[in-house]
Structure 1
């Protein structure tokens, strides 16, 4: 459980561990560089996928680091293809010092290519103290910690319009069977139950992963995520069949399968929270709230709320996460200062900067929940941190990009095909195994 209150002594202890502080209680805590303004005159270059409001809010974190250390920072948005952009920068002799990596598979790729520096002892101590072990595991390759998870996503949240559910007389369900039953009740009231953004294949992988984790359990989830279990295992076809029950029910999906395949993720949120609602619920991560609030002016907790993705077939309710891990490149011109940035990012102080700005969850269990701006975000953050080691990282993000992260190919395309025609779960499982085998071999 995350503590709601942090005493001055505990706060100083955390800072001593994370920043190497020697003076506690002063009005200007000792900087991450080991002394006030210790990095003055130095510049730390950072690359990551973030743009728009995410980039703007992360810049606030970088500015706070600058204020503490005197270092300047320079952020470059890479777009979605981090691996290609960073690889080309390394080859061109212009490697950034720090990269915010959005996929476990990419972090592993960087480490295996020898691009990364192991994290400092100070950062490792912070991770051991402030994070559940699962986050250390996902940041490590062959037992060496390379990645610090700074920003997390909670991908086991079903977002809904309270008015729509109230009008249908429906309360948030706790089992998948009740979810479909509630969906039929909603649709009988004149509004489709679910909006699905099938044009973006990654949303479909998230549906599958939540069902699979709850139905098959964490051991099989871990084995499938690393391809130690083949996709032809009976558990995969079973989960696909469970998902197919929803996909083939035209009464439940706004516009049916065809419209779902022509709806991207923002469009799926619009169908629930936009000016002309077409559905009552949309499944996706906590970031749905940001779209509902920023694009459609919804008040989170009043006009938009969530319930946990329900348990499937008697299993435990799943907690699937994603996140962005900070890594330090060996070839960066100022990797030493980059490592000091990670020491700062490992502190609850750094996480609080973005938490206050919104659109952010931290896996750092020492971050005071009061740092978040609304009760719904606090509830989401509490759910993520309280899950501890039962959290499982997004399966497709753990896979090679050719299978789990490429538009029009691999898992994304095959699940889109399955949405179009969910009649043959075993056949789809066989196709997934064929694509996975090629990607993992490559």
Structure 2
């Protein structure tokens, strides 16, 4: 999917956001883990009682998403509030990746969900092209316009029409670490890629493996690549590669893969080595970093703000035992990569439009924000809703960025390339993790798969 120009501004703005995030995370790590912020200027709290929803007694709705575990449980609390307000009955339908294929089978069987949460702008475009997705009503669009910056509105549009409500966002430029391990190793939070390598060596020398990588889930590997590439090659190249206007055989891709190999290919730097990492799913990559006291399986794990959900499954406390720093700058500027999940209507009805409107409101997002491990691009959500200072800092930085962010590159791609387990970019980077010396071969495979997917639009 083409990156929308209104969401992609200047490199300087990205630098400003990265600096804000770095400074504020440092302050958050030193502060209380559960003290509410005092200076909340959001209008979300005052608007929460003004949302108008219809009475839907007797209406049944289905909502599909790939969310599992605690994330699914928390979202069900949001749906329960919608049921309470409207009288509708809402059922959560667990979906599988790639969700477009899942939806295709449901539609072929005559049983599409009323709403699905799509994790890729490319998937929204495909759903519209196939005639599956339904545009939002004027009333729902008004709610979106009240609460979202133009950039977040635009990535939910296809052909100028609003199809998606970005209910959930992610800051995908964070590295989480075991504070006790860092303390024992005398390691410091890095600001540059070279600093990261120095920190990793200090951790390794202390007897702990530096990195945990959830290589069984290929999307974690695309996120690693995107942060390195954005910082090293710059936003213009990032946009070109996201749109496949330059090939994956470009020298800038070679440089990024070579840089990644300094971590992925360094003996003893990845927990379980490549074979172990490729059998480690994302949740386990987090929990194994924060269990085992000061002798965990790894000291650091890269991923977004949602890591907190999985940290919550351990005894570690965010801000004390589990700390975080911005993804280090590889080039002149630290990267800021965002992702998100958009609610899209597949069965147009009064109930579906009302639920989409509710998900576009601060009321819905505030419920899940309070439960932790969640980030909303909705600017009307009060910052005080987030349960700890680290999360409040990340949320504030996201809203402060306005339209100045880069959306996850693989999520902009056709799903066949950027969003399918065992295929395309996910599989190619898994192969690269297994053999980080094969830079040229990896580039060739990436280009072959990208050309096929972009050419077909699938």
TM-score normalised by L of structure 1: 0.89
The count of corresponding residues between Structure 1 and Structure 2 is 419
Does residue 126 of the first structure (1) align with residue 143 of the second (2)? yes
Q: CA deviation at 1:129?
A: 3.3
- Listed one character per residue, the Cα deviations across residues 258-286 of structure 1 (whole Å, up to 9, x for unaligned) are 33233332332233112250221111122
Aligned counterpart, 1:5: 40
1:399, distance to aligned residue in structure 2 (A) = 1.7
SS in 2 for 1:307: strand
The more displaced of 142-151 and 243-252 is 243-252
Structure 1 equivalent of residue 301 of structure 2: 282
2:106 equivalent in structure 1: 89
How far does residue 6 in structure 1 lie from its aligned partner after superposition?
4.5
**Cα distance in 2 for residues equivalent to 1:4 and 1:89:** 47
Matched, 1:356 2:370: yes
Once the 2 structures are TM-superposed, how far is the Cα of residue 306 of structure 1 from its aligned partner? 0.9
Look up the SS of the partner of 1:273 in the other structure. Answer: coil
Q: Which residue of 2 aligns with 1:292?
A: 311
* Superposition deviation, residue 251 in structure 1: 4.0
Tell me, yes or no, if the aligned pair for 2:42 and 2:382 is still in contact at 8 Å.
no
| Corresponding residue for residue 22 of structure 1 | none
Tell me how far 1:164 sits from its aligned partner: 0.9
Question: In structure 2, do the counterparts of structure 1 residues 373 and 403 end up closer, same or farther at CA, with 3 Å as the change threshold?
Answer: same
Match of 1:61 in 2: 78
| Structure 1 counterpart SS, 2:289 | helix
Give, in whole Å, the separation in 2 of the partners of 1:56 and 1:195: 26
Q: How far apart are residue 29 of structure 1 and its match? A: 4.3
Deviation at 1:354, TM superposition (A): 0.7
1:375 is matched with 389
Partner of 1:220: 237
- 1:39-438 to 2 correspondences below 5 Å: 39-275=56-292, 277-294=296-313, 296-314=314-332, 316-329=333-346, 332=347, 335-438=349-452
Mapped contact 1:319–1:384 kept (Cα < 8 A) = no
Unpaired stretches in structure 1, ≥5 consecutive residues: 16-27
CA contact (8 A) 2:42 2:379 kept: no
Q: Tell me the distance in 2 between the aligned counterparts of 1:305 and 1:187.
A: 18
- Is residue 31 of structure 1 aligned with residue 49 of structure 2? no
SS of 2:170's partner is strand
Native 8 Å contact 2:119 2:342 kept in 1: yes
- After alignment, is 302-311 or 407-416 more displaced? 407-416
Deviation at 1:206, TM superposition (A): 0.8
Q: Which runs of 5+ in 2 are unaligned?
A: 1-16, 18-36
Cα distance in 1 for partners of 2:139, 2:45 equals 16
Partner Cα distance (2:242, 2:188) in 1: 33
1:128-151 CA deviation, whole Å, 9 max, x = no partner? 332232212221112221000001
Cα pair 1:89 1:95 within 8 Å, conserved: yes
- Does structure 2 conserve the Cα–Cα contact (< 8 Å) formed by 1:31 and 1:68? no
1:244-264: CA deviation from partner (whole Å, max 9, x where unpaired): 122221143234333323333
Query: What CA distance in whole angstroms lies between the structure 1 residues aligned with 2:72 and 2:275?
Result: 34
- Alignment CA distance shift 1:256-1:55 (3 Å): closer
| SS at structure 1 position matched to 2:176 | strand
The structure-2 alpha-carbon separation of the partners of 1:179 and 1:222, relative to structure 1 and needing over 3 Å to count, comes to same
Alpha carbons 1:199, 1:263 under 8 Å: kept: yes
CA separation in 1, counterparts of 2:312 and 2:263? 28
Report the RMSD for the aligned CA atoms in angstroms. 2.2
Query: 2: CA distance between counterparts of 1:208 and 1:417?
Result: 14
Residue by residue over 1:5-50, the C-alpha shift from the partner in whole angstroms, topping out at 9 and shown as x without a partner, is: 3477x755x56xxxxxxxxxxxx645322xxxx2233223222222
Instruction: Name the TM-score, length of structure 2 as normaliser.
Output: 0.86
The alpha-carbon distance between structure 1 residues 3 and 84, as it changes in their structure 2 partners (threshold 3 A), is farther
